[in-house]
Structure 1
Amino acid sequence: MVVSLPSPQLFTGGMVPTPGGPTLVVAESFAGRLTAFDIAADGTLSGRRAWAEGLGPDGICVDADGGIWCQTADTRAHTGSGPRGGGDITHHVETDLPCSSCALGGPEGRHLFLLCNEFDSVDQLQAVLARRSARVYVTEVPR
């Protein structure tokens, strides 16, 4: 089945269905928000709404309790004032390199894998790649 996201999307950085509920949450990096859609039995999407704004998310995953984990470039999220709209920011994971994606896995689904790399600018991409500075950090998420 192919599901098309209703337009306009502003650079989708990932999407996750919420556990136990028919909701799809999409990370819209350039729009700086998480956007939610209702998922119908036939897979169609409706009810577009802001789940959380002011984040700058890129990469997204959801834990077994329905907690959404995403990278965020927005300083408001890092200063503790939190997103506007949706839920609260409950946890921060600090890394020494910019993070671009995350995934949950491991034996109990509690290991958070963070893909991180240097980033100077798009025009410096080849130089960054040549330095081979990418790292995958792993941490456990709380229960």
Structure 2
Amino acid sequence: MTAIADRPVRRVVTGMSFTECPRWRPSEDDGAGRLWFADFYTQAYYSVRGDGSDLRTELEVPGQPSGLGWLPDGRMVFVSMRDAALMRREHDGSVVVHADVSDHVGGHPNDMVVDAEGRCYLGDFGFDLMGGADLARTGLLRVDPDGAVTRVAEGLWFPNGSAITPDGGTLLVDETFGNRVSAFDVAPDGALGPRRDWARFGEPPTASAVGEAIGQLAVAPDGCGLDAKGCLWVADAVGGRAVRVREGGEVVDTVSPGTGVYACTLGGADGRTLYLCCAPDFDEHARSAAREGEIRAVDVDVPHAGRP
């Protein structure tokens, strides 16, 4: 069997600015399903068939799209970063504010995961990343189906991609500047237990300047997705790769597509396609001025599990 690191990585979508938050979703008009994703600086959500055909603009978001999910009744919920809001698309296509989180975040709201009850667990930058501010820790928000906002965790280093285990009992949160993936037990009412290390790649940064802190990261966990053996595929935002990690932090597989990797998910008809959100870097000015963002894909052995 060919090692995953040696398998060909193919281009699925090209000509984007900075793709993020990929989600595989069944489709009523396409039994195989479709890959949904955000593109920051073309300001829209898109979907595409698994082979890259039939690219569609699903929703334009002038406030910059990011996290994405669906409520149990099928309504789409999504982040408008610059509005510091979680939005909702109704069944008739109208868009409304699901929750205003401007009083709860220290930087742009970003990625999230939606549980089986429709509760959204949402992270934020914690500081003005693109404006050159010093690194600062932040918290995690839970937005309930009625739009109520509760701060459910503190002291996180840029909480980013998140996943929920198949039994709904554990929330995993990538901390991009923390050298770690954190885990929280999820109570039936959505409350979180104490934070614990799920995977630790090194010590949290001691530098406050972002450039120096990046140099202290062994892995910068960004977007992620779980597989059926309990491993987590993690986009390494400073390593130009996606890594498959066991609980405890052991890296058991690596995919290096030759460019930056900022998010990933498992999808395809059998859940065994790893989709990678790729770009040369994450600099806002460079990415908004170019169309070098892509989604690439590689076949893996273990299928998708959990949420998203």
Q: So what's the TM-score if we normalise by structure 1?
A: 0.81
How big is the shift at 1:5? 3.3
How big is the shift at 1:142? 1.5
Structure 1 pair 56–23 and aligned structure 2 pair: CA distance change class (3 A): same
Partner letter of residue 169 of structure 2?
A: P
Residues 46-105 of structure 1 show CA distances to partners (whole Å, capped at 9, x for unaligned) of 031011122310111112222211112466xx8xxxx8x814211100111100111111
Q: Which has the higher helix share?
A: 1
Q: How many residues align?
A: 134
Instruction: Compute the RMSD of aligned alpha carbons.
Output: 2.4
Structure 1 pair 127–17 and aligned structure 2 pair: CA distance change class (3 A): closer
1:101 matched to which residue of 2? 263
1:142 equivalent in alignment to 2:304 = no
2:198 matched to which residue of 1? 51
1:126 equivalent in alignment to 2:285 = yes
Which ranges in structure 2 are unaligned for 5 or more consecutive residues? 1-118, 121-141, 143-150, 202-218, 303-308
CA contact (8 A) 2:200 2:249 kept: no
Moved over 6 A (4+): none
How big is the shift at 1:25? 0.5
Structure 1 pair 100–69 and aligned structure 2 pair: CA distance change class (3 A): same
Aligned-partner Cα distance in 2 for 1:108–1:69: 17
Aligned-partner Cα distance in 1 for 2:167–2:160: 23
Aligned-partner Cα distance in 1 for 2:290–2:220: 26
Kindly indicate whether structure 1 or structure 2 has the higher relative contact order, using CA contacts under 8 Å at least 6 residues apart: 2
Aligned-partner Cα distance in 2 for 1:57–1:137: 18
1:61 equivalent in alignment to 2:231 = no
Equivalent residues in 2 for 1:4-43, closer than 5 Å: 4-20=151-167, 22-43=169-190
Q: Which has the higher strand share?
A: 2
How big is the shift at 1:126? 2.4
Q: So what's the TM-score if we normalise by structure 2?
A: 0.40
Residues 27-50 of structure 1 show CA distances to partners (whole Å, capped at 9, x for unaligned) of 010112100000111111003101
Aligned-partner Cα distance in 1 for 2:266–2:228: 10
Which ranges in structure 1 are unaligned for 5 or more consecutive residues? none
* Stretch deviating more after TM superposition (125-134 or 18-27): 125-134
How big is the shift at 1:127? 3.2
Aligned-partner Cα distance in 2 for 1:127–1:41: 44
CA contact (8 A) 2:238 2:260 kept: no
